[in-house]
Chains A and B, each alone.
Chain A
Amino acid sequence: MTAESRAVAASEAHGASHGTAVAGHAASRGISNPVLGMLLFITSEVMFFSGLFAAYFATRAANQPWPPAEFQGLLDPLSLILVATIILVASSFTCQFAVWSIRRGDRTGFIRNITVTFVLGVIFLGLQAVDYSILFSEGLTMGSGAFGTTYFTLTGFHGAHVFGGVLMLGVILYRGMLGQFSSRHHDAVEAVSLYWHFVDVVWIVLFSVLYLL
């Protein structure tokens, strides 16, 4: 890392403030750089999933009946997937509790809540793996026509995003245990929590579309 990048990293670390001798204005007002960056990243992620959803609805409209007769009733909302859904939604709450904790400066509460969120995220991934294996055993795979392709692509990319979110949670958990966050300095926590909520919302939409609609 060069000297410049260190200096900028340092200035990033102190909220968004930056500046030369003249440009050292109050950049800390309003939304911080990392949070704005994350919101824009989430915007692009929404567009990515929009592309996949567009493909889903287009193929679904072109294939009647949906699901195909052989897979009728396979995607049952009242099954393991409901447990997974509840777990992921709950993890969004614990994630927000963690944010509120660190905003108050409560590091213990922050670490406890992030740990719970992290564990819930891992459990969700495990349940998704179990669910996949059940579906495979029923004969639904990526290769079983448009139904299987769209199902596994949508849930697979969501799962990959959950995995990414779990990694991010792990990083902020580690940094939190090192004591790097405080009530005034926790942009990374805010950004990761936004991402986690996004992952959660995508799942709610996915669950509604794939299982209920």
Chain B
Amino acid sequence: MATHALSPAAVAGYRGGLYEWLTTTDHKKIGILYVINSFLFFLIGGIFALLVRAELAAPGLQLFQNEHVYNESFTIHATVMIFLFIIPMLAGLGNFAVPLMIGAPDMAFPRINALSFWMLPLGGILLLMGFLTPGGAAAAGWTSYPPLAGNSPLASPGPGQDLWIASLVLIGTSSILGGINFLVTIFKMRAPGMTLFRMPIMVWTVLVTSILVVMATPVITSAIVMLYIDRNLGGSFFNPESGGIAVLYQNVFWFYSHPAVYVMVLPAMGVISEVLPVFSRKPLFGYKAFVFATAGIGALGFSVWAHHMFTTGAVFLPFFSLMTFLIAVPTGVKMFNWVFTMFRGQLTFSTPLLFAVGFLTMFLIGGINGAFSASVPVDFALHDTYWVVAHLHYVLFGGSAFGVFAGIYYWFPKMTGRMLDEGLGKVQFVLMFIGFNLTFFPMHILGVKGMPRRIADYASGAGWNDWNLVATIGGFLIGLSMLPFIWNVFVSLRNGKVAGNDPWEGNTLEWATTSPPPPYNFDRLPEIRSERPLFDARHGLVGHGEPEPGPALLEQPAPSGEVPAAPDDEAGVGEQTTTGEDLETKR
């Protein structure tokens, strides 16, 4: 039965073209669909961000006729970026990479995998359809706190807010099913030899992320379902007039949404933990420490939600402040892991490494300014100011989005068989890096100067004009930086350098198969005796530095002077010959 999966009959039914893409259950194609879909929503969310920045460039209302449209813009910007870009983009990279990295033929539930994906465009369309309704799209911020998100005439009376709820329930269900799929895949489908502590860090981060998704996402579903009941069925969960509690929503909402920030960043950390060792030509410094730090962040992530609610006066401040500071410890461990991975490495500054270093530096700033807000007195001063906007963009854009681009440049050769252009990649990185810092660094200053978030207009005498203009210029620079990327993808798909199986000399299993990989990923797997099976195979080592006669890919050690013939029908594992040659030169 196992061989049937790879038999020509199975591949003969493989249909090309659009039909294949729309009906595929192949984790690689679904992963690519995730990436494309998320990138499209990234552009949509980006357009809303540019509208917001354009409005804020100068005091007064220029772009929008009224504040309500502005409220819709930042609400849809944030909702799209969080739920339709970052989370699914990272899920998509994981979808592509995880089964390859653990040597599995596919995800555990391929059809559920397709279902998880197709809920996303549906959810996104539902969300955006709010603009077609009388009251417009949701405008209560991505957090949608009641009573602002309630259905009273002064709050959010229209169906836009209900569409927002429906959309988030769909996207949440997609996340949960995806998380279950990842967990079963990682627990049950690892190749022989791929023990838990030999899994690539990317797989570990996806594992912890999936646990967070399975445990936390249903809680936001319950929160917004209660909101829906309050709005439409006469419920009174959050309505104090009839016995409800308004702050209850914030508690339930943040019980998900704080772990969700780790859902948004952990897989990006996994991406750069794959990129940094490969481009430093060193193993990851402190593999186990990294794994435990990841698990620690996941566990602590459930005990800090109320630091978003310090000013409500309804939470126990010392506990949540302490736990928030504690999160800095495992994060700091990871910083050491990354820095010491690069330390004394042979760095090659390819685009993936640039974006990974971008992640490292920007995430560091985002971590430090976050620690400020963990301190209760400082938070009371900075709550709901642009300081918070700066912080969350430094971790989610400077962190996750840079990690996403590192991952796209890193795996594009594996996804398509062609390299992205390095020159254009560097142009994109420089534009994005400068634009990002121009946009978001001034927001620290604006926040300290007291500029509240979510305002459409500000007094020209408040001293906020210059920095707002700088931020707007930076924002458009970020928008500009997407053009070389899109151009790069189109040009490289046609004329890019052919990648070969292993263009980066990677360490992990995805580089052992062809680019793009065949439907079932592997015909032969290298022997897995460490967390770097390809490194071992390339250097004729199996296990930690102990040389053995047969490199993993060969069935028999080659007789001297002869490169062993590839087994008959195993097209596509070019690694076999290279490994053989490596072995010869070693002898």
Contacts and interface: CB of A to CB of B under 8 A. Distances in A.
A5 interface: yes
A2 B23 contact: yes
A70 to B, nearest CB: 12
B87 to A, nearest CB: 16
A212 interface: no
B5 A36 contact: no
Prevailing SS type, chain B contact patch: helix
A7 B188 contact: no
A93 B287 CA distance: 47
Contacts of B176: 41, 44
B79 to A, nearest CB: 20
A22 B574 CA distance: 17
B545 interface: no
A41 to B, nearest CB: 6
Contacts of A147: 243
**Most B CB within 10 A of own CB, among A43, A47, A54:** A47
A7 to B, nearest CB: 5
A58 interface: yes
Nearest to A48: B218
Interface in B188-227: 188-189, 191-192, 214-219, 221-223, 225-226
A20 B520 contact: yes
Interface in B1-27: 1-6, 9-15, 20, 23-26
Contact of B219 (A4, A7, A51): A51
Contacts of B226: 51-52, 55, 153
Interface string B161-196: 000000000000000100111011001110110000
A20 B242 contact: no
A8 B245 CA distance: 48
B521 to A, nearest CB: 7
A142 B234 contact: yes
B255 interface: yes
Given A4-B519, A147-B243, A153 B5 contact: no
B235 A153 contact: yes
B340 interface: no
A146 B11 contact: no
B539 interface: no
Interface residues of B, number: 72
Contacts of A48: 218-219, 221-222
B184 A36 contact: yes
B244 A59 contact: yes
Contacts of B9: 3
Given A4-B519, A24-B2, A146-B242, A54 B252 contact: yes
A199 to B, nearest CB: 15
In the complex, which range does the number of interface residues on chain A fall in?
A: 35 or more
B184 A146 contact: no
Contacts of B251: 54, 58
B528 to A, nearest CB: 10
Given A18-B2, A55-B248, A59-B243, A3 B189 contact: no
Given A7-B4, A20-B6, A142-B233, A37 B191 contact: no
A25 B2 CA distance: 9
A4 B106 contact: yes
30 contacts: A3-B12, A3-B13, A4-B106, A5-B114, A8-B110, A12-B108, A16-B108, A17-B1, A18-B105, A19-B5, A20-B5, A22-B522, A22-B524, A23-B2, A24-B2, A27-B188, A33-B184, A33-B188, A37-B181, A40-B183, A43-B215, A44-B179, A48-B222, A51-B221, A52-B226, A63-B243, A142-B229, A146-B242, A149-B244, A153-B235
Interface of B: 1-6, 9-15, 20, 23-26, 103-106, 108-112, 114, 176, 179-181, 183-184, 187-189, 191-192, 214-219, 221-223, 225-226, 229-230, 233-237, 242-245, 248, 251-252, 255, 519-525
Q: Which 7 A-B pairs have the closest CB atoms?
A: A51-B222, A3-B13, A146-B243, A143-B234, A24-B2, A48-B218, A5-B25
